[in-house]
Structure 1
Amino acid sequence: MDSVFVSLAEATGASLDQLKLIFCLILSYPLGSVFIRVPSPSLKHAFNIVVALFYLIYMLHLGTGTLQLLVSSLGTYFIAANVKGPNMPWIVFTFVMGHLTINHVIRALFELSYETFEITGPQMVLTMKLTTYAWNVWDGRRQVDELDKWQKEKRVVQAPTILEFLGYVSYFPGILVGPYLEFADYMSLVEGTIFKSVKADDLKDSGRLVPKGRKRVAYRKLVVGLVYLGIFVVFGGQYNYSNAVQDWFSDYNFFYSASGGTRWDGAANVQIATIEFAPNMKVLLDSWNMKTNVWLRECVYKRVTPKGKKPGFRSSMLTFATSAFWHGIAGGYYLAFILGGFVQTIGRLCRSNIRPLFLPATYVATRGGPEPPLTLAKQAYDITGTIFTVVILNFMAAPFMLLSIKDSLIGWSHLEYYGLWMVLAAFAFFYGPGTGILKKMQAERVNKAGGPAKVNVTSTTPGPSQVLLLDVADGVAKKVEKAD
């Protein structure tokens, strides 16, 4: 079939690998309708394996890569089954993450571009899936009263058969680019119990345990995805971060550089509207790559925290290191992550010190409910936050896309380092007299509203243990104030 895609690539200017990947993703929609009609769980597992092999070997020519995925999968299966102690998940973690890192190094040595689709993409998804599975198995061996809500829901008590496990790792809708599913969710889908609570009137007439509206929602999401894909194809060549390293780019003004850009959500990985119009960086990152955020929270952040202790600086740094290795070895990732940590700290300082001044004083004084009233002042605050979020994100993401430290620094220099100046100015203000002044203003407003002045005027800045990093900024730290 390559001849068809070669002609299409020449006509559209897109790469051959990208077109074949898009074809596989679109094909998954009608195949999903076939999957739900396969009559038994065993056949569903086999169906997943066959489709996954078709995608990886026949369509994308990743035969050797498929063997590597199989090695990671079978290695995890046998480690989880035979290592009974508490170190089992960490052994799996080291095994699959080390394998992924080796392939990241190989990709870097061959200088493969984003247009080239090779095995590290599916392997990154598989790494999340396998490490999560290992923790789910370990949680299945622990006492129930030791587990939190997520751990109770996802625990694996009975070891799966090899067919069930391979069907799980081969689940075709997410094998290429994700998102991943936990094993418990996969089995409830295969066995048809995921919709057991649905009322009879809401089921399809066929008698199958599948609610109405599945296709309508799925294909609507497909259309939305294709629209955004079309925008990317049309404008991606002209508006991309590689332009930032060109000499002519520095001749443009700031506004050229900083312009932005049943619920059936069990496999949702992004919230588009929230990403595009997020009032702050935390809300934006909460809505981006959501399943990866869950993986980092459940399989790293909470697991490296000693029992009885609250997550702190050590947990944050280990989670950051995991996220960095998971993404790859390019220096640009680390520039983006480190800057993201500082941006997140500023965001928390703003929410703690500035945001209360734009809320009704009575709401602040009484520590009102989770949703503050949407006053004109609060709307102005949110709009300003959205503008600053877009501006700083476009600067912060440049190294993540340019990858090399050299190109990242060139791109930032052509942007006049505006993001660094924003961060430095904010830290100078909050670590200087700014926080104390804002706290006093809060206390005065609360007192005038007739409420107790519970604002801590002396505590001006968060300690180093509160400095979280880019991929941890997803609600991982429960002590961070809930952003509305």
Structure 2
Amino acid sequence: MDALFVPLAGAVGASIDQVKLISCLLIAYPLGSVFVRIPASKPNLRHLFNIAVALVYFFPMLGMYTGFLQLLGDILVTYFVARFSSSSKMPWFIFVFILGHLMFNHIIRVIYEFSYETMEVTGPQMVLTMKLTTFAWNVWDGRRDEKDLDKWQLEKSVREFPSLLEFLGYSLYFPGVLVGPSLEFSDYMNLVNERAFTTPGKHQGGRRLPAGRKRVGYRKMVTGLAFLGVFVVFGGSNNYSVMVTPWFGEQTWIKRVLLAQLYGTCERTKYYAVWTLTEGASILTGYGFTGYTPSGQSTWTGAANVIPMVIEFPSNFKVLLDSWNMKANVWLRECVYKRVTPKGQKPGFWSSMLTFGTSAFWHGAQIGYYLTFLMGGFITSAARLVRLNIRPLFLPADGQPTTTTKRIYDLVGSLTALVVLNYVASPFMLLTWSDSITGWMRLGWYGHIIVGGGLVFFYAGGTKVCRGLQKKQGVEMKKKEAGSAVGTPVTEKTFQLPPGIDKVIPPPK
């Protein structure tokens, strides 16, 4: 099918693999409307539809024949090991096996020097890794006593093992099979059987499917295409690779810092584009329904993987991270952060560092990922200390309006979070040690100075000083707020929903 995409690739100035990927994401929109017209009373047809569409993606459109066979191997290994192993080590075996296979392919990608424009197996495999390892933990949770489970584990646990057809349909759910979003098995089965649509409200054609799905889904498509347009027009000349050119080194330091902010935003638009497009396609299948607003309008935020406005205008670093690659955040929280913490203990610094390390391992073999995520661990620690020690000094008294100093604090925090993000993200795109160090050096190491300086201040006595000031001002720390670790993998207690979603009436269990 390459002959169909070559002219389009030449017209838009993109690689043929990029054009193929976007074509698959757009084809998913009309296919989503086909999916919901398959009766929920015939779930096997819906599973087969997912499998059939995925096969079309991988074979005639993308030509990933051996890649698909590798994915199928991971699916079958996970299915049969989870089914026949009753050991408590089962989830860890699947985790290590699946993640190890992914790293093997990441290393091959490095050896053959594939560019980020090349579509190969690691992209879909990253999504599948989240789904398969989460499924293994869901199965294990389904075998445990309910009193030992937290809310998320109880809701997502698998107590009735699926048929192979159900598992294949889940693994190859077509809107998210290439770049996400990931979803849990229980959510997939609720989607297929339309168990998620039990809230009273307006429905389409007498079916359970709430009205408003197309309105939201196609709005996401337009938004995703707009982000894609920004990346096509501006991304080619405004990206982190410019930071290692002689021209960039000739600019003044302040200009280099300002340009880095522009490069970071332009680089992110390609992620905004693909994640928003897949979110819209998922919504058209019915995935992502989160209830109704008080006015009766359906809401569809459950398939979101990114909230661009929160990232570009963050209130703090925690909110920023919570709004980026949200499904991966959930995966890291549930399959790493909680699982590596000894029973009876609270997650701490090492739980965070192991989680960031796993995230780097999941992303690839290039050293740039590890530089980014290693520093990310220190950023979260510094941000947590700021939230615990400095933020309370600016909070207004209970019942009092927000003060000017609090607004200034929020503005400084937002700007700091964004400039640190654009600094720490540069190795993520530059990838090599040489380019990453060159990029940071040309920015004057400002991110390291901000983060390192903050940590030195707090550990050299700043914490004691801040607590003294809090005591002097009569600041009373709230336990919930004090326990909120900025930037650590999100938990049910600390997760902040997008603005307005807190008013949504959730569907009954």
Q: TM-score, normalised by structure 1?
A: 0.89
Which deviates more from structure 2 when the two are superposed, residues 374-383 or residues 291-300? 374-383
Alignment of 1:267-346 (within 5 A): 267-346=303-382
Q: Secondary structure at the match of 1:202?
A: coil
Say if 2:445 is the partner of 1:442.
no
Judged with a 3 Å threshold, the aligned counterparts in structure 2 of structure 1 residues 412 and 99 are, in CA distance, closer, same or farther, namely same
CA RMSD in angstroms, aligned pairs only:
2.6
Say whether 1:380 aligns with 2:397.
no
Residue 231 of structure 1 deviates from its aligned partner by 0.5
The answer to whether the aligner puts 1:224 opposite 2:223 as a matched pair is yes
Question: Structure 1's 301 and 433: CA in aligned 2 closer, same or farther, altered over 3 A?
Answer: closer
Name the CA distance, whole Å, in 2 between partners of 1:240 and 1:11.
22
Alignment of 1:107 with 2:77, yes or no, is: no
Cα deviation, residue 438, structure 1: 2.8
Q: Hey, what's the Cα distance between the residues in 1 that align with 2:490 and 2:484?
A: 13
Whether the 8 Å CA contact 1:282–1:483 is kept in 2: the answer is no
Matches within 5 A, 1:89-238: 89-196=91-198, 198-199=199-200, 201-204=201-204, 206-238=205-237
Q: What's the CA shift string for 1:5-31, capped at 9, x where partnerless?
A: 211211211111111101111111111
Query: In structure 2, how many angstroms separate the alpha carbons of the residues matched to 1:156 and 1:480?
Result: 24
Report the counterpart of residue 32 of structure 1 in structure 2: 32
The amino acid of 2:216's aligned partner reads V
Q: Which has the larger radius of gyration?
A: 1
Q: State the partner residue of 2:259.
A: 256
Deviation at 1:483, TM superposition (A): 13
Return the offset for 1:434: 3.5
What are structure 1's unaligned runs of at least 5 residues?
457-461
Distance across 1 between alignment mates of 2:207 and 2:50? 20
Structure 1 residue 67: Cα displacement: 0.3
Cα distance between partner residues in 2 of 1:429 and 1:142: 45
Paired AA for residue 451 in structure 2: V
Residues in 2 aligned to 1:455 and 1:292: alpha-carbon distance in whole angstroms: 29
Unmatched 5+ stretches in structure 2: 266-290, 292-298, 500-509
CA apart distance, 1:182: 0.5
Does the 8 A contact of 1:348 with 1:480 survive in 2?
no
Contact 1:139 1:151 in 2 (8 A): yes
Measured after TM superposition, the shift of residue 288 of structure 1 is 0.5
| 2:206 counterpart SS class | coil
SS at match of 1:258: helix
Contact 2:352 2:489 in 1 (8 A): no
- The equivalent of 1:9 in structure 2 is 9
State how far apart, in whole Å, the 2-side matches of 1:247 and 1:236 are. 19
Alpha-carbon distance between aligned partners in 1 of 2:173 and 2:337, rounded to the nearest angstrom: 26
Contact 1:278 1:389 in 2 (8 A): yes
For residues 157 and 244 of structure 1, the distance between their equivalents in structure 2, rounded to whole angstroms, comes to 52
CA distance in structure 2 between the aligned counterparts of 1:395 and 1:435, rounded to whole angstroms: 26
- The match for 2:86 among 84, 87, 102 is 84
Do the aligned residues in 2 keep the contact of 1:250 with 1:415 (CA within 8 Å)? no
The one-letter code sitting in structure 2 at the alignment partner of 1:383 is L
Shift of 1:403: 0.7
Hey, what's the Cα distance between the residues in 1 that align with 2:154 and 2:386? 36
- Alignment match, 1:402: 430
Find the residue that maps to 1:426 and give its secondary structure: helix
Which amino acid in structure 1 is aligned with residue 490 of structure 2? G
1:310 is matched by which residue type in structure 2? K
- Count of aligned positions: 458
Distance 2:195 2:497 in 1: 33
2:240–2:260 contact (8 Å) kept in structure 1: no
Sequence identity (%): 55
Structure 1 runs of 4+ aligned residues shifted over 6 Å read 453-456, 466-469, 477-484
Q: Is contact 1:5–1:19 with CA below 8 Å preserved after alignment?
A: yes
Go from structure 1 to structure 2 and tell me whether the alpha carbon gap of 1:467 and 1:142 turns closer, same or farther (over 3 Å shift).
closer
| CA positional deviation for 1:161 | 0.8
Within 5 A, what are the aligned runs for 1:406-421? 406-421=434-449
- Residues 1:174 and 1:296: Cα distance change in structure 2 (over 3 Å): same
Contact persistence 1:52–1:175 (CA under 8 A)? yes
How many Å apart are 1:221 and its aligned residue? Answer: 1.0
Q: Which residue of 2 is the match for residue 475 of structure 1?
A: 490
Task: Output the amino acid matched with 1:213.
Answer: G
Structure 1: distance between partners of 2:351 and 2:454: 26
Matched, 1:266 2:302: yes
Is the 1:311–1:477 contact (alpha carbons within 8 Å) kept by the matching residues of 2?
no
CA 1:222–1:57 in 2, change beyond 3 Å: closer, same or farther?
same
Q: Write the letter of the residue equivalent to 2:320.
A: L
1:423 aligns with 2:451: yes
Maintained 8 Å contact 2:337/2:489: no
- The 2-side partners of 1:236 and 1:61 are apart by 27
1:432 CA displacement: 3.3
* Cα 1:321–1:478 shift into 2, 3 Å: farther
Q: Go from structure 1 to structure 2 and tell me whether the alpha carbon gap of 1:166 and 1:84 turns closer, same or farther (over 3 Å shift).
A: same
Would the alpha carbon gap of residues 480 and 44 (structure 1) be closer, same or farther in structure 2, given more than 3 Å must change? closer
